[in-house]
Amino acid sequence: MTPDFKAPGTTRKILIAGGGFMTPFLRYMAELTGKPRPRVCYLPTAVGDTPVAKLNFYQWCAPLNIEPFVQDVFIESLTQTKGWDEVLLSADAIVASGGNTLNQQAIWRAQGIDVVLREAWERGIVLGGASAGSLCWFEEGTTDSRPKRLSVVRCLGFLPGSHSPHYDAEPGRRPLYQELIGSGALKPGYACDNEAGLYFEGTELKRVVASSDNAKCYHVSLVNGQVVERVLEPERIG
């Protein structure tokens, strides 16, 4: 049984983008915390804690009134003296990086980070990210984490249904997502172009946003045996 960490009156919040979780999305995430100078944690697990990803994160945070920090997972206990709960639950928001979703999920589960992230969500810490950092919060979706071709990955399941990031940026994404939903291999769900995203409170979609003019989001479902792609027009942020 999954532990229930939800405090009365707490709003669970997730903000995702199909790709490009840069300054506009970080600004909106900071606003969602309700804090004057929120602590924003970056989890670069999906890119193997690579330095360039961490540098990019700090650069995107630089114009904002936030306190950014990074939590690596390739660690050892002599220098990592705080537990995952101590670090992650001290944040006001947590951004998961893009990268390899399959590896990210395996590492989080092995380390128990998946349980701490659920507690963070239940406590009202804002969660989010793009690509692997958006896909990870759903039950399932399409990923390029395996060799040769796009495939299906099972994720944390905080948000019900499926997800496809990079809907406009990678040619194979749209046809495969529709095919998998049409066959029943994936549950209906949400697809996001790069620089377009979705904000959820609990499991309810509250706002559709984008940091560029042409980016959109979509709800893809099966209606009377036919795949239906409904455009979700975003509000501009940033």
Return the DSSP state at 233: P
Q: Which of 131, 134, 162, 211 is catalytic?
A: 131
The four Cα atoms 101, 107, 110, 115 give a dihedral, to 10 degrees, of: -70
Q: Which of 145, 162, 163, 166 is catalytic?
A: 166
Enter the tokens of residue 43. 């989890």
Single-letter amino acid, residue 62: A
Contacts 24+ apart (CB under 8 A), 20-24: 20/130, 20/194, 20/195, 20/211, 21/95, 21/98, 21/128, 21/129, 21/130, 21/133, 21/134, 21/197, 22/60, 22/211, 23/60, 23/61, 23/63, 23/64, 23/238, 24/211, 24/237, 24/238
Task: Establish whether 131 is a catalytic residue.
Answer: yes
Task: Establish whether 166 is a catalytic residue.
Answer: yes
Catalytic positions, please? Answer: 131, 166
